[in-house]
Amino acid sequence: MFQPTVPSVLTRQLTLFALALCASAPALATSAAAQGRKQAVVQIEVGDSIGLPLPDAKIEVFTFMDGGVFWEWVPIDSTELPVGINLLRFSHPGYRSTTFSVPVREQATLSLRVRLDPQHDTSSKEAKEAKEANVEARTVRAIGLALDGHARTDIIGRRRVLEHESFESESVTRFGALMQRARNTELRVLPASGGSFRVLAQSAGGSYNCPLQVMVNGDRRRILPFETFDRLFAVVDAETIEIFPAGHSVPLSYQSSGGCGVMIVWFRSL
């Protein structure tokens, strides 16, 4: 799927091209209509923290394979990126992986520039204790644009991500309790009745009075108020949690009614 190109000497960046084929047409669609669909092009540049290229960076998509039982990570060069919101993971030996989703539209052109931070030593006792004590959402270090002629639309926004490894050792079972423990989410978490929690995002005016909305596995048809979501789903099967803490900085593809912040939770099984 990837077609390598020669990086510019000036930019010194690795450019990979992923041709993300559109989802196949329904069985009743005519073959002519299916052949008329154009591919979406995703241009990806992966570099280190200062922008130097990382050759052979691994790029995976979180997807449900035909005949599979669970959602799984699959190398992007062996599968198609369907139209919709797709969770991607970028990794390279010696660097911390980063995970975030991108919206793919039919006939669209997307440009992604991703930066990976060096992997710190985690073998020391102090590092292990710090990891166990903190559940910290990481800021996405990427620039993503949807290109339409001369128009460029941001698809990253202001986003925080909790990857599976950051909360897999937590004993909490509900997302409200997990959000209460997590740092750097930029959310306001308030105790509620019965041991539950209210989670508020930042409104367009800057105050924390917007009830957080939750999207399940990038499906815009499955957006729930946080309180409802927390009653229906458990932390144990969650793979990645993406948080848009401010309604005014949520990219169009992720926006929900009410204009509040949005959280996307990706599950291995549903």
DSSP per residue, 188-230:
EEEE-GGG-EEEEEB-TTS-S-EEPEEEETTEEEEEEEHHHHH
Q: Which residues are within 8 A (CB) of 14 and not within 5 positions of it... i.e. 6 or more apart?
A: 7, 45, 46, 47, 53, 54, 55, 57
Domain residue ranges of the chain, discontinuous segments joined by +: 14-119, 160-267
**Residue 6: band (very low, low, confident or very high) from pLDDT cuts 50, 70, 90:** very low
Which sign does the torsion angle of CA 232, 235, 241, 245 carry? positive
**Residue 20: band (very low, low, confident or very high) from pLDDT cuts 50, 70, 90:** very low
Amino acid at site 194: G
Pairing, β 160-163 against β 138-139: antiparallel
142 in Cβ contact with 119 (< 8 Å): no
83 in Cβ contact with 40 (< 8 Å): yes
* CATH number of this structure's domain 14-119: 2.60.40.1120
pLDDT at 190: 96
β-pair partners for 244: 262
Q: Could you please state the CATH topology (level 3) that the domain comprising 160-267 is classified under.
A: Ferric Hydroxamate Uptake Protein; Chain A, domain 1 (2.170.130)
How confident is the model over 189-236, as pLDDT tens digits? 999 988 899 999 998 777 889 999 999 999 999 999 999 999 999 999
Please give the structure tokens belonging to residue 216. Answer: 């399940």
Q: Which residue is associated with the tokens 């939770």?
A: 265
Question: What is the distance between the alpha carbons of residues 99 and 101, in angstroms, rounded to a whole number?
Answer: 7
β-pair partners for 88: 61, 100
How confident is the model over 109-161, as pLDDT tens digits? 999 999 999 997 555 555 455 455 579 999 999 999 999 888 899 999 999 99
